[in-house]
Amino acid sequence: MRNILFLFLFILSCTLISSITPDNSGSSEKLTPAELAGKKIYTEGIGSSDVKITANMSGVKVPATVMKCINCHKADGTGNPEGGISPSNVTWAYLTRSYGGKRISGEKYPAYTEQTLRKVITTGIDPAGNKLHNAMPTYNMTREDLNNLVAYMKVLGKAGDVGLTKSTIVIGIALNSEQNQPNSKNEAIKKMVQAYCNTVNENGGIYNRTLKPSFFSTSEQFEEKKYFMVTGFGEKEILGENNTTPSLFLCSNELTGSGLNNRNAFYVYPSLTAQNQALVDFSKENELLKKKGEVTIVYTNDNDRKAFAKTLSNYYLAKNNVLPTLLALDSDNIQELALTKQIHSNSLVFYVGSTQLGNQFLKELDNIGKTPYILTSGSISGVDLFNMPKAFQKKVFISYPTWITERSSASIRLYQSLNRENKLLSNWKNSQLNIMSMLMTLEECLKRVGSDLTQDKLIGSFEGLYEFSTGLAPPVTYNLNKRAGSSSVYIASFDPIANQLKLVSTINCSEK
Ligand code: HEC
């Protein structure tokens, strides 16, 4: 009984939602007769034969006109994750993704084909033979109706019309909303985005469409429906596994998103994990570090860094057959940790933690006359190289995803002219250059698609970039299996004579 009531509420909630969801399924003029007939089934439950389509739910037979696909799977096929059971994303791109999918029960299934799609609609059995949850009705319809429905489902949601009109392309720009984040940073980014988009638009836009930036904060629930594509910044990856909006961000943080496995998400730099692991590769190739004895990983005990420390430890083990000692650092145990016997002047310490604690830790080590080699990733950790004890000056190595030599004078001149004409803010220049570089990449990909733009084609266009350079970041290459554009991690140390950082090595980390 409870079950049936629940199903009823579920169907009701789907219906309510579908009635307020705008139709994003693309303009009908472009559809073939078969697709149009399929659309009528999907959106109205009406087929083209005299035999009415029926839906069967938990043994109850009803006309399909009251069990329309659109009620549960939405107009664009992305499904409706509200409520207990979530109606699947049924867009063709999603159903046929090469690695298949997973049921709520955890059972995996391979990518759909037209044949298995017909089967699941009529029998509720997926390509692996799993029975779907009974919240998905099974349907009785003629072969012709079924073919039409499948024809429509192949174009459903692919229209790419989200955030796209004949004259505009809406780009969502993610801005960080961390409490401690100074607002001036977001202001600097916004000004740069406006300036860049204005320049593109004044020069005729992209095949007569203008770029329309739309800013949102990463603390808001991300609304996929609004943007043709997204870029920007964020502590957390905003794209979950089911997201279909093409996106370009700086680097993947596998801990909070779907990592490099989301077909729609592209990154400029290697993932945070790779930036960390490059330090291990560096320690193996560097003459100074090669033969060092004991290895520890010192991490500050917040969730993310703890997880990074753990993966780093596994990576070290895989590469060296030695398991490093993991030590958790907090403001109360700095002295105690510095005294640990595995840490001495000839040992390696991988540091995964905040800059502040890192500096205190180095001072404490210095006080007791220990100067181990320190390796740390500038993207998730840090030590202040300009204010560290002298004894450490030649013993600290930091990894970065880019280096000053990747900047070309032409691109810097472009920045300067944007600056002159738009009075950009003078601070947060690195962030300004990063967003500028991402916008240049997006512009290039959009131009390569041409006037017949769709989200799917934009993704294909990304996948065609080979050693593409904006002159502001390392060149990027994407293909079917590569979502991190650059594979280079730069290892730097402090040069006390020049009082600046110097490049020691470039590590090639080939991620998928
Ligand atoms: C009352 C809500 C509801 C209606 C109406 C509905 N579905 Fe579903 N559908 C679901 C739910 C819930 C699931 C997920 C079931 C599961 O994961 O076990 C699902 C799953 C699917 C799947 C399987 C995708 C996968 O992940 O394996 C396809 C394909 C599908 N529906 C197509 C359709 C079509 C086509 C129609 C209309 C002819 C339709 N659905 C009508 C709720 C519905």
Q: What is the pLDDT of residue 444?
A: 97
Quick check: CB of 465 below 6 Å from ligand 1?
A: no
CA 96 – ligand 1 centroid, Å: 15
What is the chain's pLDDT, residue by residue, as a tens digit (512 residues)?
444 444 444 444 434 333 333 334 444 446 789 999 999 999 999 999 989 999 999 899 999 999 999 889 887 788 876 556 788 889 898 898 888 888 878 889 999 999 999 999 999 999 999 999 989 999 999 999 999 999 999 988 765 568 888 899 999 999 987 655 668 889 999 999 999 999 999 999 999 999 999 998 887 777 766 899 999 987 666 666 667 789 999 998 876 666 787 888 999 999 999 999 999 999 999 888 877 779 999 999 887 899 999 999 999 999 999 999 999 999 999 999 999 999 999 999 999 999 999 999 999 999 999 999 999 999 888 888 888 999 999 999 999 999 999 999 999 999 999 999 999 988 899 999 999 999 999 999 999 999 888 887 899 899 999 999 999 999 999 998 899 999 999 999 999 999 999 999 999 987 75
Quick check: CB of 189 below 6 Å from ligand 1?
A: no
CA 115 – ligand 1 centroid, Å: 16
Q: Phi, psi at residue 48, to the nearest 5°?
A: -100, 5
Quick check: CB of 40 below 6 Å from ligand 1?
A: no
Quick check: CB of 509 below 6 Å from ligand 1?
A: no
Residues making up the chain, counted from first to last: 512
Quick check: CB of 69 below 6 Å from ligand 1?
A: yes
Q: What is the pLDDT of residue 178?
A: 67
Quick check: CB of 103 below 6 Å from ligand 1?
A: yes
**Both tokens assigned to 84:** 């207990």
Nearest protein Cα to ligand 1, atom 36 = 69
Quick check: CB of 11 below 6 Å from ligand 1?
A: yes
Q: What is the pLDDT of residue 131?
A: 93
Nearest protein Cα to ligand 1, atom 26 = 88
CA 301 – ligand 1 centroid, Å: 43
Quick check: CB of 88 below 6 Å from ligand 1?
A: yes
Nearest-atom number in ligand 1 for the CA of 11 is: 1
Integer CA distances (angstroms), 368 to 182, 289, 336, 343, 362, in order: 37, 22, 11, 11, 10
- By the 8 A CB rule, do 55 and 63 touch? yes
Nearest-atom number in ligand 1 for the CA of 55 is: 38
Quick check: CB of 14 below 6 Å from ligand 1?
A: yes
- By the 8 A CB rule, do 329 and 337 touch? yes
Nearest protein Cα to ligand 1, atom 1 = 11
Q: Which among 31, 39, 506 is positioned nearest to 278, based on CA atoms?
A: 506
Quick check: CB of 135 below 6 Å from ligand 1?
A: yes
Quick check: CB of 136 below 6 Å from ligand 1?
A: yes
Nearest protein Cα to ligand 1, atom 25 = 88
Q: What is the pLDDT of residue 203?
A: 94
- By the 8 A CB rule, do 106 and 55 touch? no
**Both tokens assigned to 418:** 């944007």
Q: What is the pLDDT of residue 5?
A: 42
Q: What is the pLDDT of residue 237?
A: 65
Half-sphere exposure at residue 257, Cβ-oriented, CA atoms within 13 angstroms = 28
CA 48 – ligand 1 centroid, Å: 21
Quick check: CB of 97 below 6 Å from ligand 1?
A: no
Half-sphere exposure at residue 170, Cβ-oriented, CA atoms within 13 angstroms = 18
Q: Ligand 1 pocket: which of 73, 103, 154 to mutate (most atoms <8 Å of CB)?
A: 73
The amino acid at 453: L
Quick check: CB of 72 below 6 Å from ligand 1?
A: yes
Half-sphere exposure at residue 367, Cβ-oriented, CA atoms within 13 angstroms = 12
Q: Which among 425, 424, 471, 428 is positioned nearest to 195, based on CA atoms?
A: 424
Quick check: CB of 476 below 6 Å from ligand 1?
A: no
Nearest protein Cα to ligand 1, atom 43 = 136
Q: Which among 276, 278, 272 is positioned nearest to 259, based on CA atoms?
A: 272
Nearest protein Cα to ligand 1, atom 7 = 136
Place of tokens 């690195």: 430
Integer CA distances (angstroms), 193 to 166, 199, 215, 232, 506, in order: 22, 10, 10, 10, 31
